A = this chain, B = another copy of it.
Amino acid sequence: MLSFLSDYTEGAHPRVLQALAETNLLSLPGYGEDLYCRRAADRLRAFCGDGEADVAFVTGGTQANLLVISALLRRYESVLCADTGHINTHEAGAIEYTGHKVVPLPAVDGKLPAGALAGYLERFYADETHRHMPFPGMVYLSHPTELGTLYTREELRSLSALCRRYGLRLYLDGARLGYGLVSPASDLDMEELCACCDALTVGGTKQGALFGEALVFPRHGMPPHFDTMTKQQGAMLAKGRLLGVQFDALFTDGLYLELSRHAVDLALRLKAGLLEKGLPLYIDSPTNQQFFILDNEALARLREQAAFNLWAPVDEGHTAIRLVTSWATRPESVDALLRLL
């Protein structure tokens, strides 16, 4: 069965696994105090072009989000996001469980428009009763978004400028960051991302690691006692080395972007092929997640031979599907899928 289900259906890229095997018998200090974590942090600083960035590692995306958001917010602050944002839809209320309101704003193509943010902030501070509301403390963006779309440099700068004007922190969830960076549609690089954001994640789980997300706080921006908060939330790995070794491997010899490119190349080949066959786009994504509309009969037939997500009903007879590629996707699988349609 062909699988385009997600970018985390396989284990790790062989070079990541090999690094774990090679370091397996070394006796190393726990809790992220080992040399691999330090080396991986150095590599991420270089990758970010910010020698003063603070870096930490946790095991998963929801964990990263709830930890960063609750560590950077004051208790009377909320986090704003596109209503399609992962923290608003698929994290089981994890942010609220830490005590903070998630304020969803209407998304356009999975993105939070700067205009929507500006409007919210203006109305908030114009409202005489705003001290009876949670204060906007952060903007959460996912990049690429849950719909595979990308913020442009101008969009990100506008959002960042608004955040700074109103005293909000800007946090970018980069669970699939690599797929954005290598996309031909992207005009954003890591320097720009770090310049605009107060915190961001560089995802490993969906980008070739067994598991793990790197947390980057540009310009020494990690809040004090972040490690204690990490422990407090059950997010500190005893064998922190596992994260260090994996990210060290991913950021050696350009593996991270190489894997990202592989996936995006195949996704765009798939997209071109499907467009050629006349399938309508559900949304125009330039990254490793592709969204097309199928009529339900074709859909039923396709599901017998390929695994993928049903994204949303479109009308009585049509459904949007999501097709995802990863480092593990083989070109032949793309060709095979195209032949099926």
- Give me the interface of A with B, judged by CB distance under 8 Å: 3, 5-6, 8-12, 14, 17, 20-21, 23-31, 59-67, 70-71, 74-76, 78, 89-94, 96-102, 104, 128-129, 131-135, 205-206, 210-211, 225, 227-229, 231-239, 241-242, 307, 310, 328
29 A–B pairs (Cβ distance < 8 Å), ordered by A: A5-B27, A6-B30, A9-B29, A10-B26, A11-B20, A11-B23, A11-B26, A11-B239, A12-B24, A60-B238, A71-B75, A75-B97, A75-B229, A90-B133, A92-B131, A92-B132, A92-B228, A92-B229, A93-B100, A93-B232, A96-B96, A96-B99, A101-B102, A131-B228, A135-B225, A210-B242, A211-B237, A234-B234, A234-B235
- Pick the contact of A131: B21, B211, B227, B328 (CB < 8 A): B227
Q: Contacts A24-B11, A89-B133, A210-B239; is A233 near B94 (CB within 8 Å)? A: yes
The residue of chain B having its C-beta at the shortest distance from the C-beta of A229 within the complex is: B76
Q: Is the CB of B27 within 8 A of A10?
A: yes
Q: Contacts A231-B92, A233-B97; is A3 near B20 (CB within 8 Å)? A: no
For A70, the chain B residues whose CB sits under 8 A away are: 75
For A206, the chain B residues whose CB sits under 8 A away are: 238
- Count the copies: 4
For A100, the chain B residues whose CB sits under 8 A away are: 93, 96
Q: Say how far A177's CB is from chain B's closest CB, in angstroms.
A: 16
- Pick the contact of A234: B28, B94, B96, B239 (CB < 8 A): B94
Q: Contacts A132-B91, A228-B92; is A238 near B27 (CB within 8 Å)? A: no
Q: Is the CB of B93 within 8 A of A234?
A: no
Q: Contacts A11-B20, A11-B23, A211-B238; is A228 near B29 (CB within 8 Å)? A: no
Q: Is the CB of A91 within 8 A of B131?
A: no
Give the complex CA separation of A88 and B52 in angstroms: 36
Q: Is the CB of A28 within 8 A of B12?
A: no
Known interface pairs A27-B307, A31-B132, A92-B133; 12 further A-B residue pairs with C-beta atoms within 8 A, sorted by A's residue number: A6-B30, A11-B239, A66-B233, A71-B75, A74-B225, A75-B75, A76-B228, A76-B232, A92-B228, A132-B228, A211-B242, A233-B234
For A102, the chain B residues whose CB sits under 8 A away are: 96, 101
Q: Is the CB of B232 within 8 A of A75?
A: yes
Give the complex CA separation of A211 and B242 in angstroms: 9
